[in-house]
Structure 1
Amino acid sequence: MTVRTSSSSIARIGLISDTHNLVRPEALRYLDGCDAIIHAGDICKPDVLDALARIAPVTAVRGNNDTGDWAASLPTHARLTVQQVTILVVHDLAELGCVPRDEGIRVVVSGHSHKPSIDERDGVLFVNPGSAGPRRFKLPICAGRLVIEGAQVSASFDALLA
């Protein structure tokens, strides 16, 4: 999938994961204005994707809690290109194994752990936006963004609740 952006040369990609059937108004406000949204799995009900699609086009992968007929159509891995940046989306990094270097992957977006993180290894940016769903343990409720301009990419995540 290729994401088309507005006339601006900067693309803003919203990152969300592990909503577990909870669409927080804070998450919708955070994602408002994004050119596209990536959901890294554990959606739990298709209504979540419908709510996100009202904001921007959504790329979503199936998480370990996504079951039933609606979830069967979701891929376990997705790839999209935004400008000159190729993004691989997977719910659980453990399912990925290694990043296919010869395929030009620049960013890997994942979920599953509910723990937000940004880490660059060997030229690949690994981003987990954390969980925007029900609070788990004392982990923050978060979502994230990728900002892409040409071949340049930066990532961030923000707490949605105090």
Structure 2
Amino acid sequence: MTSFSFASSSLAAASAVRIGLISDTHNLVRPEALRHLEGCDAIVHAGDICEPAVLDALREIAPLTAVRGNNDTGAWAAALPTHATLHVGDVTILVVHDIADVGKYAQRDGVRVVVTGHSHKPLIDERGGVLYVNPGSAGPRRFKLPISAGLLLIDGAQVHATLHTLTA
């Protein structure tokens, strides 16, 4: 497991922390995705990266937390965690590729946000006080699903999620 803390007090210009959410890039780094992530304080990739060059491109924009997806194989991918926990302001975020695996990793007490990928279906849903966000897929189009990414805005204990279609 990876644990990452990002204190909003370390930001000079803004009180809210912007976390860019991306998943299921499948070795495709779209310029639209990079533009969406510009200006973020941190980026979360929820798996199915497929090549380490994707992570390199994202790290050029902001600090990156990434988890391994079911299509991430090889030595480079073995070094990625299956899940990660981030602490941003007063908000704890659990990142795992497949929502079906959340129960394996979560001592969910205190988790306010769960970020997943895998389905390629963008989703924001709040259940039992936990915000579930799947940014969808920023990689190759699958079926008729949109090409999308997401954003978390965190200010202290407040969190707001949005989804963004990247291409028409």
The amino acid across from 1:77 in the alignment is H
| 1:66 maps to which of 67, 72, 81 | 72
Letter of the 2:29 counterpart:
V
What residue in structure 2 maps to residue 22 of structure 1?
28
**Cα distance per residue 1:30-53 (max 9 Å; x no partner):** 000000000000000000000000
Where does 1:115-130 land on structure 2 (aligned, <5 Å)?
115-130=121-136
Secondary structure at 2:85's aligned position in 1? strand
Q: Does 2:107 match 1:100? A: yes
CA distance in 1, matches of 2:167, 2:82: 29
Task: Give the SS at the match of 2:163.
Answer: strand
Matched positions, count: 161
Aligned to 2:82: 76
Q: Name the aligned partner's letter for residue 100 of structure 1.
A: Q
Q: Counterpart of 1:155 in structure 2: which amino acid? A: A
Map of 1:143-162 to 2, 5 A cutoff? 143-162=149-168
1:75 is displaced (CA, Å) by 0.4
Q: Which runs of 5+ in 2 are unaligned?
A: none
Provide the residue aligned with 2:5 in structure 1: 2
Tell me, what secondary structure is at the counterpart of 1:115?
A: coil
Task: Compute the RMSD of aligned alpha carbons.
Answer: 1.0
* Alpha-carbon distance in structure 1 between the residues aligned to 2:156 and 2:139: 32
Cα drift, residue 9 of structure 1: 1.0
TM-score, length-scaled by structure 2: 0.93
Which amino acid counterpart does residue 31 of structure 2 have in structure 1?
A: P
Question: For residues 100 and 125 of structure 1, what CA distance do their matches in structure 2 show?
Answer: 15
Alpha-carbon distance in 2 for matches of 1:10, 1:152: 9
> Equivalents in 2 of 1:62, 1:152: separation in Å?
28
* Amino acid aligned to 1:95: D
State how far apart, in whole Å, the 2-side matches of 1:94 and 1:140 are: 22
Residue type of the alignment partner of 1:76: T
Percent identical pairs in the alignment equals: 72
Deviation at 1:97, TM superposition (A): 2.3
What code does the residue aligned with 2:93 have?
A: I
Indicate the SS of the match to 2:56.
helix
Look up the match of 2:38.
32
CA distance in 2: counterparts of 1:158 and 1:36, whole angstroms:
17
| CA drift at 1:95 | 1.3
Q: What SS is found at the alignment partner of 1:79?
A: strand
